[in-house]
Chains A and B, each alone.
Chain A
Amino acid sequence: MSIKVVEGKNIVRDYHVGGGLFRAQRTVHAVKGVSFSVDKGKTLAIVGESGCGKSTLARIITLIDPATSGELFIDGNKVDIARGGLTKEMRRKVQIVFQNPYGSLNPRQKIGDVLGEPLLINTNKPAEERRDLAMKMLKKVGLGPEHYNRYPHMFSGGQRQRIAIARALMLNPSLLVLDEPVSALDLSVQAQVLNLLADLQDEFQLTYVFISHDLSVVRYIADDVMVMYFGEAVEYGSREEVFSDPKHSYTKTLFAATPRADVASIKARLAKKKAAA
């Protein structure tokens, strides 16, 4: 039987904005009752445009922000960070990789320290062991021991994203939240990072929540797909279901807007242009 690593039931998140002396408070409903579950070793992709609440949901799953209402289960245990603290064990289980590898690494911290820091904070491992683990992880993500003492500015975007992935994996998490991990990268580098993610998933039986607005990437990496629109999950199903038979009009719009790079659609476009001229 498959194990559910993460499950959300009816998650709602409201933000209160404004509310100065002379102005009424406004409530923004960022996430409006979203339910989902991901099995061990699988990938759930969350798709939507900016402002649809997908990153808010990512923050809730990563236990950074509390949900306003709804229940979140990680490895079968109910978690509510609004009430009661969070154990180190829970922190370890969920890790996140952010979108912009240029902004998510401290420019004044060496790569070795970047990788050692999660261990320093969350475990009692001695320095020697932290160093060994960091070296091992560098090799896992396709970098070398010679990179241990370098600073982030000495790396390219793709390499930095590898470092961010390595940092997330240092605590041996069961769930990895990837917030647009390849949208800042070039096409060829994007392919390398996607391959790396697939390899790591096989090796560690990782579960991914993959947030993206690029449908071609989602189609490649996801098992299940959730399409979000203005805080609601308008479409949720297996990859085949969503891609072959989109139900909601927004999903159809999204498919129509994705640029096609096949020969047939180029021919169609050129023919249309000729007719117009």
Chain B
Amino acid sequence: MALLDIQNLVVEFQTASGMFRAVDGVSLHVDEREVLAIVGESGSGKSVSMLAVMGLLPWTAKVTADRMSFNGRDLLKLSPAERRKIVGKDMSMIFQEPMASLNPCFTVGFQIEEVLRFHMGMDGAQRRARAIELLTQVGIAEPAERLNSFPHQMSGGQCQRVMIAIAIACNPKLLIADEPTTALDVTIQKQILDLLVSLQAKYGMGLIMITHNMGVVAETADRVIVQYKGRKMEEADVLSLFESPMSNYTRALLSALPENAVGDRLPTVSDMLFEPAPSGAAA
């Protein structure tokens, strides 16, 4: 059975000019030990659908789905208190801006231990030992000293490692990474991606990578979902997506990669989006 199974997810926001539909009938599933990538531009609803799964959307959002189950439990029927026991423990998330998502007022150690205290009920000594173990796992040098650092004393890459440490603190079954490397340099990006994939393989987690970078998709994913304006355009395994993309939009995205440029101009998405699809392709 799938670890996370979503059927026909719709997320709408109440705005001054009526309801705005950010996610429009998306279905997806993730199995254990699987890396799923969700690709799309800003505004394609890729982050919103995952925030809906985590239950992190503001009250103005209306979430409906035919089914939304995680690990055999129906997320739609859970009370907020029950949901808080799952979120951060069995299912956790890494955000885009590592600097902005850590609390600047508390030490890194406190923020890691907070999760352990809430979900695992460990005592002080256990928490500290586990926090040191986690920092070692995500590759931070001198972990014991680093526990007393504040986020501003660390670089962007190190902050992202701390975020990952918090996310995997309770051995989650599903890890959602929302553009984990967008704010980072290429060399650091490579290190973080390698770290995520190795942790995923080691603990057999399901991993959802949300990104707009086709290179990141090619380097990490098993299966890919392409989203555009809240709708799912295409779902395929990574090789067939790059070899023979079915939808126009995916083809447009791939040809907009600078390394695929032929001649002087880069094709843009709007150039290609409204061309007729070849026979057999999904619209």
Contacts and interface: CB of A to CB of B under 8 A. Distances in A.
Nearest to B243: A263
B66 interface: no
A234 interface: no
Interface stretch (A6-14, A32-40, A165-173, A253-261): A253-261
B157 to A, nearest CB: 9
A276 interface: yes
A216 B41 contact: no
Interface in A78-102: none
B279 interface: no
A67 B76 CA distance: 61
A188 B186 contact: no
Interface residues on A, range: 35 or more
A242 to B, nearest CB: 15
A213 B257 contact: no
B41 A214 contact: no
A213 B186 contact: yes
Most buried by A among B186, B188, B201, B213: B186
B130 to A, nearest CB: 27
A81 to B, nearest CB: 30
Given A188-B252, A190-B256, A215 B269 contact: no
B187 A187 contact: no
A266 B254 CA distance: 14
Interface in A44-69: 49-50
Q: Is the interface of B mostly helix, strand, loop or mixed?
A: helix
B267 interface: yes
Interface string B172-192: 000000000000011111100
Interface in B219-265: 219, 238-239, 242-243, 252-254, 256-261, 264-265
Nearest to B267: A191
A191 B217 contact: no
A190 B189 CA distance: 19
A259 B242 contact: no
A151 to B, nearest CB: 17
A266 B238 contact: yes
Given A49-B187, A261-B242, A266-B238, A188 B269 contact: yes
A181 B82 CA distance: 45
Given A220-B261, A258-B215, A187 B256 contact: yes
Contact of A257 (B189, B212, B256): B189
Contacts of A270: 238-239
Interface in A179-194: 186-192, 194
A261 B186 contact: no
Contacts of B261: 220
B239 A195 contact: no
B100 interface: no
Q: Is the interface of A mostly helix, strand, loop or mixed?
A: helix
A141 B187 CA distance: 33
B42 interface: yes
Nearest to B238: A266
Nearest to A264: B242
Nearest to A258: B186
B170 interface: no
A157 interface: yes
Contacts of B78: none
Nearest to B33: A277
Contact of A259 (B41, B219, B243, B260): B219
A192 B267 CA distance: 8
A221 B268 CA distance: 16
B216 interface: yes
Nearest to A183: B182
Contacts of A186: 41-42, 212
A260 B218 CA distance: 7
Nearest to B260: A261
B186 A192 contact: no
A153 interface: no
Contacts of A261: 214-215, 217-218, 242, 254, 257, 259-260
A221 B254 CA distance: 18
A-B pairs, top 7 by smallest CB distance, nearest first, are A259-B215, A188-B269, A257-B190, A220-B258, A191-B266, A191-B256, A49-B185
Given A216-B258, A260-B219, 16 more contacts: A157-B42, A188-B41, A191-B266, A198-B264, A219-B259, A220-B258, A257-B190, A258-B215, A259-B193, A259-B215, A259-B218, A261-B215, A261-B259, A267-B239, A269-B218, A277-B201
Interface of B: 41-42, 156, 185-190, 193, 201, 212-219, 238-239, 242-243, 252-254, 256-261, 264-270
15 contacts: A49-B186, A49-B187, A187-B214, A187-B253, A188-B269, A189-B41, A191-B266, A216-B259, A219-B258, A257-B187, A257-B189, A259-B218, A260-B215, A261-B257, A262-B259
